[in-house]
Structure 1
């Protein structure tokens, strides 16, 4: 049986992949996440997912399957990364307040010389946020390691009025598309296992 490695240390991605019933190991992919000139957000997030998977694949056998993923929040064509400080977090949240934005999550699977990837786009609408809400949210510590300065699965879930697309993709790993992509490499989720009885 082929082994599976998740190219991530993200507890959220680990929990989502485990939810599907796969057995896997986790290894962090140490890559440069800087944006390239003239790169669209879609190209950026897909490139990072592919580079993460390839980084781990370079040290594995050709039978090992590696899953890489990356998520970014996009508003007005700009990628909102992880906030470096309180002011950047407040700027991000002010840009998202009372508006819709896109969350792009890319997944990439590598096995030997074969690589496949896709980008899932989800629209998220925030309610109007007060300065007090934004500041108090920063003080919880939750935004500090989150793209776009928020985590939909946490305290910031109360900011979300509407979501169009994949909730799990916003959290960090689109469940439907991940099972489809891994199945193309011969790995089935718990529900896809054939009945031997």
Structure 2
């Protein structure tokens, strides 16, 4: 395991999950002028899995350039992106309260997928993983949705909810990776990080 890695994410949940794994890390987040949100624009008719993989790769490439531009010491760089999909419809981060209410109204009473892609780079070597989970919401009336949106929790969250927050009261069933639904699947992430030791052994053998 390296002394530390760079985490190219503003998500405090991803940082907490890496800490849970015992991985020392430093944040490598975008400057405001980078317009990182533009990387998350979907392509026409893009499938959810293809979308989340592509966006994660774009974020990783941007982070690698950022490290060089800032003159930071070399270290592995980790990126992740999460999207929610109902069928082929993507649900990213809501633009405002009305958008959050719209998303929740469509997800209520249905089962959706949560896809999180993870990408890791060390010099010229890249490793990738995709985690897919399923979440079923109970039916929610307008008052419940409005109260949840008013809490502010949906903002900045794919699908307009946080599984580890108050939204848990509306979830009837989950399958897959709980930490993947949070935004960083720990099994897949640990598997990728294990590749770092293998890569170093190969280079020195």
Measured in 2, the distance between the counterparts of 1:52 and 1:3 equals 19
Give the CA deviation at 1:54.
2.1
Measured in 2, the distance between the counterparts of 1:128 and 1:39 equals 28
Decide whether the 8 Å contact of 1:57 with 1:66 is kept in 2.
yes
Decide whether the 8 Å contact of 1:57 with 1:112 is kept in 2.
no
Query: Alpha carbons of 1:138 and 1:112: their partners in 2 closer, same or farther (altered >3 Å)?
Result: same
Query: Are 1:54 and 2:65 an aligned pair?
Result: no
Cα shift readout 1:126-150 (whole Å, capped 9, x = no counterpart): 1111111000001001111111111
Normalized per residue, the structure richer in helix is 2
Decide whether the 8 Å contact of 2:133 with 2:181 is kept in 1.
yes
Alignment-derived partner of residue 95 in structure 1: 106
Matches within 5 A, 1:128-143: 128-143=139-154
Alignment-derived partner of residue 184 in structure 1: 195
Structure 1: where are the runs of 5+ without partners? 188-197
Query: Alpha carbons of 1:18 and 1:109: their partners in 2 closer, same or farther (altered >3 Å)?
Result: same
Alignment-derived partner of residue 44 in structure 2: 37
Decide whether the 8 Å contact of 2:111 with 2:136 is kept in 1.
yes
Measured in 1, the distance between the counterparts of 2:162 and 2:131 equals 17
Cα shift readout 1:78-123 (whole Å, capped 9, x = no counterpart): 1111111222112111111111000000000011111111211000
Measured in 2, the distance between the counterparts of 1:82 and 1:165 equals 21
Query: Are 1:22 and 2:23 an aligned pair?
Result: yes
Measured in 2, the distance between the counterparts of 1:55 and 1:2 equals 22
Aligned length: 187
Alignment-derived partner of residue 77 in structure 1: 88
Alignment-derived partner of residue 11 in structure 2: 10
Measured in 2, the distance between the counterparts of 1:162 and 1:169 equals 15
Query: Alpha carbons of 1:184 and 1:62: their partners in 2 closer, same or farther (altered >3 Å)?
Result: farther
Alignment-derived partner of residue 201 in structure 2: none
Measured in 1, the distance between the counterparts of 2:23 and 2:121 equals 16
Secondary structure at the counterpart of residue 14 of structure 2? helix
Alignment-derived partner of residue 86 in structure 1: 97
Measured in 1, the distance between the counterparts of 2:9 and 2:74 equals 19
CA-based RMSD of the aligned residues comes to 1.7
Secondary structure at the counterpart of residue 186 of structure 1? helix
Structure 2: where are the runs of 5+ without partners? 199-205
What TM-score does the superposition give when structure 2 sets the normalisation length?
A: 0.86
